[in-house]
Amino acid sequence: MKISIIGVGLIGGSMALKLREKNIAGFIYGIDNNTQHISDALEIKIIDAGVDLEHGIKNSDLIILAIPVDAARKLLPSVLDLVSDQQTVMDAGSTKAGIVNAVKDHPKRSRFVAFHPMWGTENNGPKSAIAESFSGKAGVICNKEESADDALATVEKVVHALDMHMIYMNAEDHDVHTAYISHISHITSYALANTVLEKEREEETIFQLASSGFSSTVRLAKSHPEMWVPIFKQNKENVLDVLNEHITQLRKFKSALEKENYEYLEELISNANRIRGILR
């Protein structure tokens, strides 16, 4: 299978490595406005050639959009304009309703499969790509009934090759759930990092005293704004709902401390401990 990957960064690069390893990809075209990404991807053999958008689409069986969600939403209609009824287009964005709605009336809508691989790190660029990164993670396909059977089968083959467990979901439901289990985690991490940077002015002290718990909590704060601002923008209403609930929970902890109500504080922590039975 010939594959074009639009956006040869962490996600696109990792998918390319795994699909080549599994012999799904016979030839991989890389398409990226960042020429350094193309150079790096060629150097470490993530892609076989760097090409322009039209050339890549014309010569590929599968086109993967692995770019920020706002860019994917804008570009997808133009990509569908260029594909035939034998080609498949998929994305890898963290929000789904916006991109699905952007092409709901497109005559080639059935050639598109909305996909979200539930994995990512704070790093970016092809040099951060890891072939095994998706193994054991959830691969979410949204609104599968709107995709042609053969296009869906192609993407299902890709998801299996990535060693992910497949989940089918409505795009709107997906965006609600990811707001709770992914997007709020990033906002919390950014906010905590800003809190520490505001209150603890001595960078050397932060470095020396930072525990593994603190480091893991603020790891997501290293994630780049060019990826996460579009996600928050596309999923604004859901993120705001989750953020309001999170603020309510923080106020409960604040109130318990202010009132020296340590029994209530223990109750809050014990309730939170129930997550152990869910996340092992």
The CATH number that applies at residue 139 is 3.40.50.720
Q: State the pLDDT confidence band at 57, using cuts at 50, 70 and 90.
A: very high
- Considering the domain architecture, whether residues 188 and 162 belong to the same structural domain is answered as no
pLDDT for 166 equals 96
Using DSSP, state whether 28 is helix, strand or coil. strand
- Considering the domain architecture, whether residues 189 and 139 belong to the same structural domain is answered as no
What's the per-residue H, E or C state across 209-255? HCCHHHHHHHHHHHCCHHHHHHHHHHCHHHHHHHHHHHHHHHHHHHH
pLDDT for 98 equals 95
pLDDT for 211 equals 63
This prediction's pTM = 0.87
- Kindly report, residue by residue over 248-266, the tens digit of the pLDDT: 999 999 999 999 999 999 9
- Kindly report, residue by residue over 161-215, the tens digit of the pLDDT: 999 999 999 999 999 999 998 899 999 999 988 988 887 776 677 666 666 667 7
- Kindly report, residue by residue over 9-20, the tens digit of the pLDDT: 999 999 999 999
CB 5 within 8 A of CB 28: yes
Please tell me the distance from the alpha carbon of residue 91 to that of residue 12, in angstroms, as a whole number.
Answer: 10
pLDDT for 150 equals 98
How many residues in the chain?
Answer: 280
Q: State the pLDDT confidence band at 218, using cuts at 50, 70 and 90.
A: confident
pLDDT at 55 over 90: yes
Q: How far apart are the first and last CA of the chain?
A: 38
- Considering the domain architecture, whether residues 214 and 137 belong to the same structural domain is answered as no
- Considering the domain architecture, whether residues 138 and 219 belong to the same structural domain is answered as no
Find the mean pLDDT for residues 76-84: 98
Domains contained in the chain, number: 2
- Considering the domain architecture, whether residues 104 and 185 belong to the same structural domain is answered as no
pLDDT for 210 equals 64
Find the mean pLDDT for residues 141-149: 98
The answer to which of 44-58, 67-81, 120-134 has the lowest mean pLDDT is: 120-134
Task: Quickly count helices (H) and strands (E) in the chain.
Answer: 13, 8
- Considering the domain architecture, whether residues 143 and 7 belong to the same structural domain is answered as yes
- Considering the domain architecture, whether residues 145 and 213 belong to the same structural domain is answered as no
- Considering the domain architecture, whether residues 153 and 187 belong to the same structural domain is answered as no
The CATH number that applies at residue 239 is 1.10.3660.10
- Kindly report, residue by residue over 222-245, the tens digit of the pLDDT: 888 988 999 999 999 999 999 999
CA contacts within 13 A on the Cβ side of 52 = 2
Residue ranges making up the domain that contains 238 = 174-277
pLDDT for 121 equals 72
The answer to which of 145-154, 218-227, 241-250, 263-272 has the lowest mean pLDDT is: 218-227
Please tell me the distance from the alpha carbon of residue 79 to that of residue 14, in angstroms, as a whole number.
Answer: 22
Task: Name the domain boundary from 134, 169, 204.
Answer: 169
| DSSP 8-state secondary structure symbol assigned to residue 97 | H
Q: State the pLDDT confidence band at 277, using cuts at 50, 70 and 90.
A: confident
Using DSSP, state whether 207 is helix, strand or coil. helix
- Considering the domain architecture, whether residues 135 and 28 belong to the same structural domain is answered as yes
pLDDT at 93 over 90: yes
Task: Name the domain boundary from 136, 169, 202.
Answer: 169
Task: Name the domain boundary from 169, 184, 207.
Answer: 169
Mean pLDDT of the chain: 93
